[in-house]
Amino acid sequence: MKRKKILLIMILSFSVLFLLADENLTILLDKAMRANPEISSLEFQIEALNEKEIFVQKLMDPMLAIEYSNVPYNTWKLDENPMSGIQLKLKQTIPFPGKNSKRKAVVESEGQIKIHELDELKLQLKDKVKKAYYQLGLNRELKVVSLKHIALLEDLIKTMINKYEIGKSAQSDILRMTLMKEKLLDDLEDFKQKESEIQATLNSVLNRDVRTFISTESLNLNFDLDLDNLLKTAIQNRPLLKKIEETSKMKRLVFKLAQRERMPDLTLWAGYRIRKDIGTMENIDFASLGFSFPIPLDMKGRTKAKMNNAKFMEKGVDEKYKNVVNKISEMLIMATSGLERQKNKISNYNINLIPDAEKVFHSELSSYTTGRANFADLYQAQLQLIQFEKILLKSKFKFKMYEVTIETLIGEKL
């Protein structure tokens, strides 16, 4: 009686919590996207690169120089030498044509890389949240199965006690059934501990109190999934592959920028010298114009080294792209194979194995009640039914896990 009260309280507590929770998977995913600090960090980096696009194109600030020029060192007077004066000079450096546009192209490409990196991070975060959410759902469904069989076992034990009192059942039979019930009761503690772990993981991702209750919904399995051309879809949509492609493009742009950077920037200046009259000699102010540029000799080979670095980096990125595509292809084959296996398993257990196991159990129970069957057969039928129901549940959630894995690999929903 005490056990029944405990079980009733547990079931009612679970039901109340379930009713109070107002989050579904879609809401959890949305909260995870908004709460994750890594996502915020990448968003700020993208904003920073947007600003960088602006300033890499601008001219350098002009330079103003004021010079007390060509005065005698012993008097420092302006009216003793006709070359003495106050020199004003304005300088402006103008980048070689095409440099700024190529700098902008590199920064734009860096921004696109960060955008694809952000999309990939969101994709991986969704994968983590979904799988933890379904693991939580499986844990609770297994708990429900255990609770159902605990209640059934209590009724069986009562029947066996009544048969034992009239000499038609052995005490060892009662003990074995009680042991099975105790094992299922012990499993409830494991389910409770596992639920706390998974909820803590999910709440940590959501950046909130790890003890917050998370409700789970019943599974909605779709067996009519389009599994054709998955690799082609992945190549078109997977942010990780887009990031690698954009990185390769960025390295090509860096190579072109290095070629252009060796071309000299032009510096223009205008000067004006204010001169003082010397005695009766009138000194006219001087004006000057000029330009300068570095000679692109590349004596230490720095430009060539930059170009070679960009070229080899591009080749390395291209090889990485091929490797990642091969890995995705391999993982897609494994995931689709697992998905098909779980689909067939679910069908077999739903249509054949569990209905047959239920028939066997009820037949053995009826026969045992009337004394036409032994305890061992009833025990095995009960144990088999529990195992089959749990296998079916695990297969359903495994199917969903494989579905999530495929969606993550291809970068879109099936």
Q: Are residues 158 and 44 in the same domain?
A: yes
Residue 303 is predicted with a pLDDT of 80
Q: How far apart are the first and last CA of the chain?
A: 50
Tokens of 50: 């947007």
- Asked whether the predicted pLDDT for residue 63 surpasses 70, the reply is yes
The CATH code of the domain that includes 201 is: 1.20.1600.10
- Please state, for a pLDDT cut of 90, what percent of the chain lies above it: 47
Q: Are residues 149 and 52 in the same domain?
A: yes
- Asked whether the predicted pLDDT for residue 374 surpasses 70, the reply is yes
What is the tens place of the pLDDT at every residue in 76-103?
888 888 888 899 999 998 888 888 889 8
Tokens of 165: 């009192």
Q: Are residues 325 and 337 in the same domain?
A: yes
Q: Are residues 124 and 228 in the same domain?
A: yes
For the four alpha carbons of 346, 347, 353 and 359, in that order, the dihedral sign comes to positive
Q: Are residues 67 and 188 in the same domain?
A: no
Mean pLDDT of 43-63: 84
- Quote the number of domains for the chain: 2
Q: Which residue has better confidence, 277 or 404?
A: 404
Q: Are residues 179 and 279 in the same domain?
A: no
Q: Are residues 137 and 179 in the same domain?
A: yes
Last residue of one domain, picked from the residues 279, 297, 315: 297
- Asked whether the predicted pLDDT for residue 108 surpasses 50, the reply is yes
Report which secondary-structure segment, H or E, holds 413.
none
Half-sphere exposure at residue 26, Cβ-oriented, CA atoms within 13 angstroms: 0
Q: Could you give the 3-state DSSP secondary structure of residue 291? A: strand
Q: Are residues 352 and 304 in the same domain?
A: yes
Q: Could you give the 3-state DSSP secondary structure of residue 313? A: helix
| Dist CA 279 CA 276 (whole Å) | 9
Q: Is 111 in contact with 46 (CB distance < 8 Å)?
A: yes
* Residue 68 belongs to domain spanning: 61-94+264-297
Give the confidence band of 279 by pLDDT, cuts at 50, 70, 90: confident
Other Cβ atoms closer than 10 A to 351:
10
- Asked whether the predicted pLDDT for residue 5 surpasses 70, the reply is no
What is the tens place of the pLDDT at every residue in 120-149?
999 999 999 999 999 999 999 999 999 988
Residue 22 is predicted with a pLDDT of 58
| Dist CA 383 CA 146 (whole Å) | 11
Q: Are residues 198 and 235 in the same domain?
A: yes
For the four alpha carbons of 98, 103, 106 and 107, in that order, the dihedral sign comes to negative
Q: Residue type for 356, please?
A: D
Question: Who's near 309: CB < 8 A, 6+ residues apart?
Answer: none
Residue 1 is predicted with a pLDDT of 45
Mean pLDDT of the chain: 87
Q: Residue type for 151, please?
A: A
Least confident of 14-18, 233-237, 344-348, 389-393: 14-18
Q: Are residues 120 and 187 in the same domain?
A: yes
Pseudo-torsion of CA 257, 259, 262, 263, nearest 10°?
-90
Residue 365 is predicted with a pLDDT of 83
Q: Are residues 27 and 150 in the same domain?
A: yes
Q: Are residues 157 and 280 in the same domain?
A: no
Residue 370 is predicted with a pLDDT of 75
What is the tens place of the pLDDT at every residue in 281-311?
888 888 999 999 888 776 567 888 888 898 9
Q: Is 404 in contact with 160 (CB distance < 8 Å)?
A: no
